[in-house]
Amino acid sequence: MTKIGIVGCGFIGGVHFSAYCKIKGAKLVAVCDQDITRANNLVKGISAGGNLSVEAAKPLSFKASEVRIYTKLEDMLKDPDVEIIDVCLPTYLHKEAVIKAAKAGKHILCEKPMALSLEDADEMINAAKKAKVKYMVAHVIRFWPEYVVLTELITKKSMGKLLEANFQRHSPTPTWTWNNWILDEKKSLSAAVDLHIHDTDYIYYICGMPESVSSLGVKGKISKGVDHIMTEYFYGKGPKIFAEGGWAYGAKYPFRMAFWAIFEKGAVEFNSMNCKLTIYEDGKDPVNPKIPEGDGYLREIQYFLNCVEEGKSPSIVTPQDAKESLRIALSEINSVEKGKQIVL
């Protein structure tokens, strides 16, 4: 049985908490937040995102009454029962938490994006290597069921080579974060990194490092950073890849993620607004394939727990992967600011 401590009891901490409630063999033993009320509310099943319906989730391996609550990470790191630290803090606090957890000998799952700079990412990677602990950045789209199907279509080439793909991610303006940190460009790098990096990372996952990127964006509407971005990723003779997204639409705009992909022998489309993935293979009727069970959060957390239990380093997302995805996203911001194509 793997024992976990969550640090950061805001919205994403609640999402992770809900996932642990559904995973057999996962025992949440501690949570940590400087706001003890928020920590208590998380354990009770209440978060910034609303009621987590903990009773309906039927925790399999722990009871809320048994979860210890800390207000300082240093105190939770001294807890001998905690084997894994799940970092659900704001991005600007990732580096400090990851390095402290590594030095304490804890395995680490850290929310995306990895960090605010490549230098910080290197320090985090080196700390985990030195401590010989398992470390994974939670790039959830690699595990999202519909994207898993797309990945299989690309790798197995069942409809031939991928020729072109377009990814979209639209979000309401995030007004739910602690002290509104996410709209402080210095703490989040705005939508280009906090939100759009989901698609940047997935593109890197399926296509590798692009030769260059060319981006356009809306800067300064919501934060001082890039609040909406459109990017073309250049792969030479490879597929044509595009992605766009942001949170410059207003607080009432509905969330949507979507993709379209064209293959030599067909096409595939997904839109989260209707939760439908459709494959259009040449010469066949359109089909809605069976989707893997569980959402991306549940699947990524289960994967990391399995890696820890089996003593294996995560391979679907490596720390170096997370750093390279950050490198691409930072280059996209650079492209917006300079108004030119950036070579990687």
User: What token pair was written down for 325?
Assistant: 């995805």
Domains of the chain: 2-138 (3.40.50.720), 142-297+325-343 (3.30.360.10)
Q: What is the pLDDT of residue 52?
A: 55
Spans of the chain below 70 pLDDT: 46-61
**According to DSSP H, which parts of the chain are helical?**
11-20, 36-44, 54-57, 73-77, 94-103, 118-131, 145-156, 185-188, 190-194, 197-207, 296-310, 319-338
149-155, Cβ contacts within 8 angstroms, sequence gap of 24 or more: 149/268, 149/277, 149/289, 149/291, 149/292, 150/206, 150/259, 150/261, 150/268, 150/270, 151/205, 151/206, 153/261, 153/263, 153/268, 153/279, 154/206, 154/261
Q: What is the pLDDT of residue 12?
A: 94
Q: What is the pLDDT of residue 56?
A: 47
Whether residue 209 contacts residue 133, with contact meaning beta carbons closer than 8 Å, is answered with no
Write out the DSSP string of 42-106. HHHTEETTEE--HHHH--SS--GGG-EEES-HHHHHT-TT--EEEE-S-GGGHHHHHHHHHHTT-
**pTM to 2 decimals?**
0.95
Q: What is the pLDDT of residue 58?
A: 53
Q: Which of 204, 242, 238 is nearest to 344 (CA)?
A: 204
